[in-house]
Structure 1
Amino acid sequence: MHSNRAPFWLTATAWAVIIFLHFPLIIIALYAFNTEEAAFSFPPSGFTLHWFQVAAARGDILNAVTLSLKVAALATIIALILGTLAAAALWRKAFFGRNVISFVLMLPIALPGIITGLALLTAFNKLGITPGMFTLVVGHATFCVVIVFNNVVARFRRTAWSMVEASMDLGADGWQTFRYIILPGLASAMLAGGMLAFALSFDEIIVTTFTAGHEQTLPLWLLNQLGRPRDVPVTNVVALVVMLATMLPILGAWWLTRDTDTTAGSEK
């Protein structure tokens, strides 16, 4: 009798890989609560929330967090607008250059971050734009658009065109059809894409390095802390916060899109 369960060795290997990948993250989270000021004294000597209080009182950390949140929020809004419009344009109509546009949209996420960062920095220099808040938002939006586009266009492809035709046959205009037929099906995909885009923008480091100028986001702050061993406990706390800030939106996006194959009106 055939079993759908994976062999024991395959399951054990999968769990071993997961533990191997996440073990450093677990160590950082554990030592964020360590009472010792030393970097990694094993075993941890006790449990404390002192370093969280220290981190919350640091103005440089709060400024970096605020900047990262602003950049991520603005980049996500831009990505939601442009990504959704691009998905709508490429959904049904076949036109000359359609595949080229799709390829160009995918380039920022497909290319190594250092290539994207260098390209953006060169473009900004040619245009006479000084790196700062504006360039940060534009740089992050370039790859956030891809995330939103992928989610939305996948949901568009699962939308039965017969439902749109039925709405139009019943007298609905284009806006009513979009509002009552298309948008409800897109809502969770847009939200999931936005959450993923926000998470990626919040912890982006490579493109940020080339486009930040004198601005310092939270990932850049963490990078600068590598040369300051006395601040390791505080750095662990900030790293834990970053992990949670990026993990929760990703889990939320997964939860929102976990039933996409059974969405009403979807096409297999």
Structure 2
Amino acid sequence: MHSDQSDRAPWWLRLLAFGGIGFLFLPIAVIVLYAFNAESSGYSFPPQGFTLGWFAAAFARDDVLAAIGLSLRLAALATVLALLLGTLAAAALYRRDFLGKDAITMMLILPIALPGIITGIALLSAFRLADITPGFWTIAIGHATFCVVVVYNNVIARFRRISTSLLEASQDLGADMWQSFRYVILPQIATALLAGGMLAFALSFDEIIVTTFTAGNEVTLPIWMLNQLTRPRDVPITNVVALCVMLMTALPILAAYTLTRGTEDIAGSGK
């Protein structure tokens, strides 16, 4: 009994922890609350009734729908690029040691480790040197540079837990490399790919800093929300859109956590 009590954190430390969590989530709770506020003046306290009218008003606006559609297309394309490049990089690096391997790994991780403004300026400079006009494709490439990391980390961790004897047994039984990948490797890494893809989608969908430098005249949903800061009359609409953004980024992250939880043990990895 005494040991159980001694393992618990002191009350003041628990209070600080809950206070920190409350400090982080209170602004989110305010946005959620006022997205349903019947009052049109913004953040009048207390909220003046409950309404779903702002949701209808938000999704009736062409600028909101255009921004959502653009962000969805960009996130989907960036996710596909990240899945392809991240999986290939993980497959190339997880078993072999060679000169420059650490440098390649560092370059893969660097875009998400650096401040977004540094990545954005570097990408803009590269596009200008190549005489590429910023637009849809430059945003997708910019997003893919940091989305690759989450796919790579998920897939290479799964690769390292797969026994090489599985692949050797497949080839001994006459399977070529494509068949071995399709029937042996792909089922083992499927949940890692799905989780990495969901995380990449969430990262791309609400990215603002890198997008600002690579967007040109394109208006993604985060840029639309940034522009709304100068329009106080549209606060209820902005709250609704912010709530949708939070849901569309939080749900893939929760799904990725659920998919990867309890999948540490790979069939055959201990044989």
Scaled by the length of structure 1, the TM-score of the pair is 0.95
Residue 159 of structure 1 is matched in structure 2 by 162
Stretches of structure 1 lacking an aligned partner (at least 5 in a row) = none
Equivalent-residue separation in structure 1 for 2:72 and 2:24 (angstroms): 27
What does 1:223-262 align with in structure 2 at a 5 Å threshold? 223-262=226-265
Q: How far off is 1:174 after superposition?
A: 1.7
**Partner deviation per Cα, 1:165-219 (whole Å, 9 max, x = no partner):** 2222333222222112111011000010000000000000000000000000000
Are 2:211 and 1:208 equivalent residues in the alignment?
yes
Question: Are residues 3 and 162 of structure 1, via their aligned partners in 2, closer, same or farther at CA, if it must alter by over 3 Å?
Answer: farther
Stretches of structure 2 lacking an aligned partner (at least 5 in a row) = none
**Partner deviation per Cα, 1:85-141 (whole Å, 9 max, x = no partner):** 000000111111111100111110010000000000001011100001111111111
2:21 to 13, 18, 22: 18
Residue 133 of structure 1 is matched in structure 2 by 136
Please say if residues 192 and 256 of structure 1, whose CA atoms lie closer than 8 Å, have aligned partners that are also in contact. Answer: yes
1:191 to 189, 194, 200: 194
Equivalent-residue separation in structure 2 for 1:16 and 1:159 (angstroms): 42
Equivalent-residue separation in structure 1 for 2:9 and 2:137 (angstroms): 52
Equivalent-residue separation in structure 2 for 1:167 and 1:113 (angstroms): 44
Question: Are residues 266 and 39 of structure 1, via their aligned partners in 2, closer, same or farther at CA, if it must alter by over 3 Å?
Answer: farther
Q: How far off is 1:260 after superposition?
A: 2.7
Equivalent-residue separation in structure 1 for 2:64 and 2:268 (angstroms): 47
Residue 99 of structure 1 is matched in structure 2 by 102
Equivalent-residue separation in structure 2 for 1:250 and 1:11 (angstroms): 26
**Partner deviation per Cα, 1:13-40 (whole Å, 9 max, x = no partner):** 4333222211100100110000001221
Worse-matched range after superposition: 253-262 or 209-218? 253-262
Q: How far off is 1:8 after superposition?
A: 5.6
Are 2:266 and 1:263 equivalent residues in the alignment?
yes
1:220 to 219, 223, 230: 223
Scaled by the length of structure 2, the TM-score of the pair is 0.94
Residue 44 of structure 1 is matched in structure 2 by 47
2:196 alignment partner AA = G
Which aligned runs of 4 or more in structure 1 are off by greater than 6 angstroms? none
Equivalent-residue separation in structure 1 for 2:40 and 2:152 (angstroms): 45
Equivalent-residue separation in structure 2 for 1:24 and 1:266 (angstroms): 45
**Partner deviation per Cα, 1:140-175 (whole Å, 9 max, x = no partner):** 111111111111111111111122222223332222
Identity across the alignment (%): 64
Are 2:9 and 1:7 equivalent residues in the alignment?
yes
Aligned length: 267
**RMSD of aligned residue pairs (Cα, Å):** 1.5
1:171 to 174, 187, 196: 174
Q: How far off is 1:263 after superposition?
A: 3.3
2:135 alignment partner AA = G
Equivalent-residue separation in structure 2 for 1:229 and 1:266 (angstroms): 57
Please say if residues 158 and 265 of structure 1, whose CA atoms lie closer than 8 Å, have aligned partners that are also in contact. Answer: no
Equivalent-residue separation in structure 2 for 1:217 and 1:266 (angstroms): 43
Equivalent-residue separation in structure 2 for 1:133 and 1:228 (angstroms): 26
Q: How far off is 1:12 after superposition?
A: 4.2
Equivalent-residue separation in structure 2 for 1:172 and 1:12 (angstroms): 59
What does 1:118-129 align with in structure 2 at a 5 Å threshold? 118-129=121-132
1:82 alignment partner AA = L
Residue 58 of structure 1 is matched in structure 2 by 61
